[in-house]
C-alpha cells in the first residue's frame, strides 16, 4: 500500500499534530534549521490533505529533553489527544525523536495503533494497524538509541539538509 492510500477521510476529519521539540535551549538557539524543518511539517500536512483549520503545532517541549514524558507537557498533550481519538496523524522529523524513552514511545505508538492515528516522519507514513508498518518502526526506533547507529542517523539527517540547500 503506498503512503497516499493510507490517508483516509477519517484521518483528515481529525487533527494533524505537528510535534516540535529540541532538547536544550542551546539547540533551539543554534540549530534553527532543525526547528524550521519541524515547523515546515505544517506544509507537509496541508500537502497531504489536512485543511489548515485541522493542523496544530505543539511546541511546548522546546528546550526539554525527550528522555522522559514527566516534564514534557507537549508530549503528554499529544498522548492524551491521541488517546481521546482526536488525532488523525502525528507529524515529526523522525519517529524516534518523539520520545527518547522506549517506554514512552512504545506507549504512544500503541495508542496510535488503537485509535487509528497515522505517524508521519520524513522517512515515511506509518499505519500502525498494518503489520509491516509496525515491523518497520520496530526495527527503526531502537536503532536511534544505539551509539553507532545514532551517528549514522545523524549523518543521514545532515545529508538530507545538504540536499535541500
Choosing from 23, 65, 68, 101, the catalytic residue is 23
| Distances, alpha carbon 64 to alpha carbons 27, 128, 136, in Å | 10, 27, 27
Q: Give me the residues paired with residue 15 across strands.
A: 87
Is 23 an active-site residue?
yes
Percentages helix, strand, coil for the chain (3-state, rounded to 5) are 55, 15, 35
| Distances, alpha carbon 108 to alpha carbons 28, 48, 155, in Å | 24, 22, 27
Catalytic residues: 23
Amino acid at each position: 500500500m503506498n503512503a497516499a492510500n493510507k490517508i483516509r477521510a477519517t484521518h483528515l476529519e481529525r487533527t494533524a499534530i505537528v510535534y516540535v521539540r529540541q532538547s536544550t535551549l542551546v539547540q533551539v538557539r543554534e540549530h534553527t534549521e532543525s526547528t524550521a524543518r519541524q515547523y515546515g511539517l505544517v506544509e507537509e500536512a496541508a500537502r497531504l490533505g489536512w485543511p489548515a483549520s485541522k493542523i496544530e503545532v505543539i511546541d511546548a517541549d522546546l528546550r526539554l529533553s525527550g528522555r522522559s514524558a514527566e516534564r514534557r507537557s507537549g508530549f503528554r498533550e499529544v498522548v492524551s489527544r491521541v488517546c481521546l481519538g482526536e488525532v488523525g496523524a502525528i507529524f515529526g522529523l523522525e519517529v524516534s525523536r518523539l520520545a527518547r524513552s522506549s517506554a514512552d514511545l512504545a506507549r504512544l505508538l500503541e495508542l496510535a495503533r488503537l485509535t487509528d492515528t497515522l505517524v508521519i516522519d520524513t522517512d515515511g507514513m506509518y499505519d500502525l494497524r498494518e503489520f509491516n508498518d509496525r515491523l518497520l518502526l520496530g526495527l527503526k526506533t531502537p536503532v536511534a538509541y544505539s551509539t553507532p547507529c545514532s551517528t549514522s542517523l545523524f549523518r543521514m539527517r545532515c545529508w538530507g539538509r545538504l540536499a535541500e540547500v
